[in-house]
Amino acid sequence: MTSVYAQRRARLAAQLGEGGIAIIPTAPERGRNRDNSYLYRHDSYFYYLTGFSEPNACLVLKADGSSTLFCQPKDLEREIWDGYRLGPEAAVSTLGMDAAFSVDDIDTRLPRLLENQDKVWWPFATHEGLAARVEGWLQKVRARTRAGALCPAAQGDVCTLLDEMRLIKDAHELAIMRRAGQISARAHIRAMQRAARMLRAGEDCREYHLDAELLHEFRQGGAEGVAYDSIVAAGPNACVLHYRADKAPVRSGDLVLIDAGCELEGYASDITRTFPANGTFTGPQRALYELVLDSQKAAIAATRAGNRFNDPHDATVAVLAQGMLDLGLLDKSKYGNAQDVIAQRAYFQFYMHRTGHWLGMDVHDCGSYVEMSEVDAASTRTDALSGEAITRPSRILRPGMVTTIEPGIYVRPAPGVPEQFHHIGIRIEDDAVVTETGCELITRDVPVEADAIEALMRD
């Protein structure tokens, strides 16, 4: 049976055009400090086409569908230190390649593969030094023109092709992402219950204690690790959007915001929950929490095939704008109604990010947010986030796209802001697969309703 990776290579090859050839390298290893490297993570484009996670590798794909892999050669001595290598000989059958060679020979063999091709595709602006290497390989082809070799006369960014392919997830990808969502949901539950348990016992609870629970459950569930640096923000720290789990105390009466997700088989999950550290919301906390949850429900309702990517954000802003007036965060005498709040972007004081982003192999996954088939169409609108006039049409949602839905509210002390809301930061985030009739939330194994969160933390 043809593997999912071979099927993807065939789809990409069909888009290269007659005489097209693509070069897709994996990510390099990164040094952390002396004699120590960061945990290796493959390049997403390369892995999408190969399923191969070793470093020092490169895929070459021609328009006729033929595939060549350059990878690390077998080296028994290095494998004692660094681990098993597949090697070129086994790569052909294991990965379904037509040919495989040692990466040590790439500078000799790759120019020959480029000979007599019309256009070379490679990922622009993603691999430091790759442009110079491509230029060097082409120079070697030009050096053979007197022998009758033809050099590719055009170049293209292969990311433009792969981004469109990766934007629509296939059944293989969605199955992995559902499992990743389940693992991450269990991790959030574990962290919630740890906070309540430690505070009930009178123990000194810190952000890093909750971060440890997340990491435990990610690995316990079989994930490779985190999809991004986990945010564990207690009390006022929740008002810092990209806060990282640190050593701040988790105090009874505070809210805790956790934005964390695992990476499973190369795919990310992304969940945010905000909960009362001691298991019980205060009145002001619950009021703001219910507002954010209502705005998320509005965004979920707007996430369906045929709608635009910006529709969930606009739905979120509409609910938040009215709620900010109703709760007194914004002065009704200054802003008469929600439309005025939106027109003047007054909500931006408390909500300053978008409601979602693509999700897949990368937590901020690839894929244009512009509807490419309508780029030349007149579609002027005011962007709800920046307030700018936007002429580029927002992307039409289609089945198989995966997006996050993550509204929030962040209240820092300021003149006119009711004191009972000071230092409250709330975000609620779920991962949604777009369907014909709506969306499938694949991260709801962790509760989201305020009453359900309190009940969970009592257990």
Residue 125 has what DSSP assignment? T
Q: Supply φ then ψ for residue 424, to 5 degrees.
A: -95, 125
* Three-class SS state of 36: strand
Residues 6+ away with beta carbon under 8 Å from 405: 296, 299, 300, 303, 312, 355, 356, 429, 430, 431, 432, 439
Report percent pLDDT > 70 for the chain.
Answer: 97
> pLDDT band at 381, cuts 50/70/90?
low
Active site residues: 35, 242, 259, 270, 353, 357, 364, 406, 410, 427, 429
Facing residues of 396 across strands?
308
**Chain segment 79-89, per-residue pLDDT in tens:** 999 999 999 99
Token pair listed for 205: 């609870």
C-alpha–C-alpha distance, residues 284 and 423, integer Å: 11
C-alpha–C-alpha distance, residues 400 and 386, integer Å: 28
C-alpha–C-alpha distance, residues 305 and 153, integer Å: 40
| pLDDT value, residue 392 | 81
> pLDDT band at 380, cuts 50/70/90?
low
The answer on pLDDT for 281 being more than 70 is: yes
Contact yes or no for 92/128 (Cβ under 8 A) = no
The answer on pLDDT for 255 being more than 90 is: yes
Residues 6+ away with beta carbon under 8 Å from 228: 261, 268, 270, 363
Mean pLDDT of 231-246: 96
377 burial level (CB within 10 Å; 0-12, 13-18, 19+):
exposed
Residues 6+ away with beta carbon under 8 Å from 223: 180, 183, 262, 263, 264
Mean pLDDT of 10-35: 96
DSSP string, 395-430: PBP-TT-EEEE--EEEE---TTS-GGGTTEEEE-BE
**Chain segment 341-354, per-residue pLDDT in tens:** 999 999 999 999 99
**Chain segment 398-419, per-residue pLDDT in tens:** 999 999 999 999 999 999 999 9
Residues 6+ away with beta carbon under 8 Å from 340: 346
The answer on pLDDT for 1 being more than 60 is: no
Residues 6+ away with beta carbon under 8 Å from 86: 52, 54, 71, 94, 95
Residues for the chain: how many in total? 459
Look up the pTM and report it. 0.94
Token pair listed for 307: 């709608």
> pLDDT band at 459, cuts 50/70/90?
confident
Find, among 281, 272, 253, the residue nearest to 450 by Cα.
281
Token pair listed for 381: 């609108």
CATH 3.90.230.10, the chain: domain bounds: 168-458
* Three-class SS state of 438: coil
CA angle (308 as vertex; 376, 404 as ends), nearest 5: 130
| pLDDT value, residue 367 | 96
| pLDDT value, residue 372 | 85
Mean pLDDT of 213-237: 98
CB atoms within 10 A of CB 145: 11
| pLDDT value, residue 378 | 59
> pLDDT band at 245, cuts 50/70/90?
confident
CATH 3.40.350.10, the chain: domain bounds: 4-166
CATH topology of domain 4-166: Creatine Amidinohydrolase; Chain A, domain 1 (3.40.350)
C-alpha–C-alpha distance, residues 261 and 271, integer Å: 6
Mean pLDDT of 186-212: 98
CATH 3.90.230.10, applies to 168-458: yes
| pLDDT value, residue 376 | 72
| pLDDT value, residue 316 | 98
Q: What is the average pLDDT value for the chain, to the nearest integer?
A: 95
Mean pLDDT of 48-52: 98
| pLDDT value, residue 385 | 66
**Chain segment 139-186, per-residue pLDDT in tens:** 999 999 889 999 999 999 999 999 999 999 999 999 999 999 999 999
**Chain segment 97-146, per-residue pLDDT in tens:** 999 999 999 999 999 999 999 999 999 999 999 999 999 999 999 999 88
Mean pLDDT of 432-455: 97
| pLDDT value, residue 238 | 98
C-alpha–C-alpha distance, residues 248 and 411, integer Å: 19
**Chain segment 352-379, per-residue pLDDT in tens:** 999 999 999 999 999 999 998 887 765 6
C-alpha–C-alpha distance, residues 104 and 217, integer Å: 40
Lowest-confidence region among 241-245, 409-413, 429-433, 445-449: 241-245
Mean pLDDT of 210-234: 98
> pLDDT band at 328, cuts 50/70/90?
very high
